[in-house]
Amino acid sequence: MIDLNALRTQAADILETGEVGAVIGWRRGSRGMAAEPVAIVAPEEAASLVWDPTCFHNLALYLVEERKKPAQRQVHGGKPIAIVAKGCDARAVTVLLQENHFGRDDVYVIGVSCEGTGVLDERKLAQVLPGVEPDGAAFDGDNFVFATSEGERRVPAREAMMDRCLECRNAHPKLNNVVFGEETPRDFDAPFAALKRFEQRPAAERWQFWQRQFERCIRCFACRSVCPMCYCDECVVDSINLVVTPETTAAEKADRVRWIERSASRADNIGYHMTRALHLAGRCVDCGECERVCPVNIPLRLLNNKMEREAREAFGYEPGASIDLPALVASFRDDDPGQFIR
Amino acid sequence: MSEQTPYEPRIVAFLCKWCSSAGSDLAGVSRIQYPANATPITVACSGGVSPQYILSALRKGADGVLVSGCHIGDCHYMEGNMHARRKLYLVKELLEFAGVEPERFRMSWVSAAEGAKFAQVVRDFVEDLRPLGPQDKLNAERP
């Protein structure tokens, strides 16, 4: 069990000593029991930090956002930023370090281990406890404990946990400056279980499945916004880099490069999601945030898992394993598979 | 295309300028007969073929996409084709995973001296694509 007070004290201490300029963590949110991300800059604010099963957000996203807005750096005086990170979040930070998005000294990782459990899937909870809107959630060994108006409700964590947590490879943050919680052995589902089941279906059925999924996509770009790896200044679907001046002709505007249209249509939706999957190959750490935020429930993890497993099985590559690894597609081995080439 | 015309697959071929593009030239000057279904696009290196090119070609109505580069060890830029092999393996796997016919994407190594091989690669590709019919899965023009 993680001692929340120790975590708060740690956050207050590093802010007090000036070791970091800000701490990104979670606090009690305004939407029911769910926690929300928060950046604190004063030691006394550390008391608002929380750690519970609703801390699903991958906070590595805010490290990226912070780098994009130099004005924000004045707030914390260019000092390192501390981030509270679960196992998956710490892997995301590792990938960002691998890509030199910032230096190791610019980030202070306060690791929190999910231990034997993981974070809550609100969709599953709605099925396990229908009609109940808990006021709070807490970890208790193998269970989640929900505070409701009718008293405490205990739910085995397995039944209400995110799928990604059930398949988690490393719930203990390997990259950390300080870590809370134990490295507990996990005996959940083997990784890629859903993927393996899906791959056994015939091609026509797979196509039917994806067609149905992508037809629903409304191109809200929530998956892109929530992903710490989707940090490009200009996304391939945006093509906003055409500088429009009074001399720009209508033909030039019409002829600008558009790889994928922004508007939602089946072919363009598929193009967008396939491009995203390819851009995330060897970088996606399976934090599952894209799938969680999708308003139309597209199983995006399935696509990303496919790329992750190919990277692992064909190239022996594990995303987020080490800062020193080269990027998947910027490296090669002499014995990479090439039988498919004529 | 009127209904009477038999279906002809349209292939977009990304050819490395140092090998396969010269190989296609050799096929031409050697007067080797092969189908005219492939539209060649010369690229500086197969390693520079972004997955986006392939998806974009399919999106704009290509029935098949061919990427052809130098044999392993022969890259003009030392290791471009090694990168291409890894990157495009992922594209191939992803297309197949999504249920797109795996025959629609093909890769080959064709040197500047292999005009006959280039003709054979295109011949085989056209033959494999013909029974599949028009590509309408990723094609934005045919919703």
Which chain B residues are closer than 8 Å to A338 by Cβ? 72, 85, 89
Determine, for residues A278 and B137 on separate chains, whether the beta-carbon distance falls below 8 Å. no
Predicted pLDDT of residue B109: 97
Q: What is the share, in percent, of chain A residues with pLDDT greater than 90?
A: 65
Round to whole Å and give the CA distance between A194 and A188: 13
Q: How much is the ipTM here?
A: 0.91
B50 touches chain A (CB under 8 A): no
Q: What pLDDT, on the 0 to 100 scale, is given for residue B120?
A: 96
Count how many domains chain B has: 1
pLDDT at A228 over 60: yes
Query: Which residues of chain B have a CB within 8 Å of the CB of A261?
Result: 140
Q: Is residue B135 included in any domain, yes or no?
A: no
Chain A CB within 8 Å of residue B82 CB: yes
Domain ranges within chain A, ordered by starting residue: 1-188, 190-325
Does residue B142 fall inside a structural domain?
no
DSSP one-letter string for A140-204? ETTEEEEEETTEEEEEEHHHHB-HHHHT-S--S-SS-SEEES-------PPTTHHHHHHHTS-HH
**For residue A132, what pLDDT is reported?**
86
Nearest CA-CA distance, residue B97 and chain A, Å:
7
A37 vs A71, more confident: A37
pLDDT band at A258 (very low <50, low <70, confident <90, very high): confident
pLDDT at B103: 93
Q: Is B104 on the interface with A (CB under 8 A)?
A: no
Read off the pLDDT of residues B94-131 as tens digits, 9 standing for 90 and up. 999 999 999 999 999 999 999 999 999 999 999 999 99
Contact A341 B100 (CB under 8 A): no
Q: Flag whether pLDDT at A169 surpasses 90.
A: no
pLDDT digits over A71-125, tens only? 766 667 778 999 999 999 999 999 999 999 889 999 999 999 988 888 999 999 9
* Mean pLDDT of all residues belonging to chain B: 93
Q: Is residue B101 part of a domain?
A: yes
CB A265 to CB B140 under 8 A?
yes
CA distance B136 to B120: 26
The closest alpha carbon to A315, from B52, B93, B98, B51, belongs to B93
Give the residue, B93 or A263, on which the prediction is more confident.
B93
Count the neighbouring beta carbons within 10 Å of the beta carbon of residue A19: 13
Q: Which of the residues B11, B16, B67, B94 would you substitute to probe the A interface, choosing the one with the greatest number of A C-beta atoms within 10 Å?
A: B94
- Which residue in the set B89, B95, B137 is minimally distant from A337, CB to CB? B89
pLDDT at A83: 96
Q: What pLDDT is stored for residue B142 in this prediction?
A: 64
B138 within some domain: no
- Tokens at residue A215, please? 């037809």
Q: Determine whether the interchain pair A267/B59 forms a contact, defined as Cβ–Cβ distance below 8 Å.
A: yes
Q: A240 pLDDT exceeds 90?
A: no
Beta carbons of B51 and A259 less than 8 Å apart: no
Task: Give residue B73's domain range.
Answer: 15-113+121-130
Q: What is the mean pLDDT of residues A240-249?
A: 80
Question: Per residue in A172-227, pLDDT tens?
Answer: 999 999 999 988 887 777 888 889 999 999 999 999 999 999 999 999 999 999 99
pLDDT at B65 over 80: yes
Which of A33, A34, A55 shows the shortest CA–CA distance to A149? Answer: A33
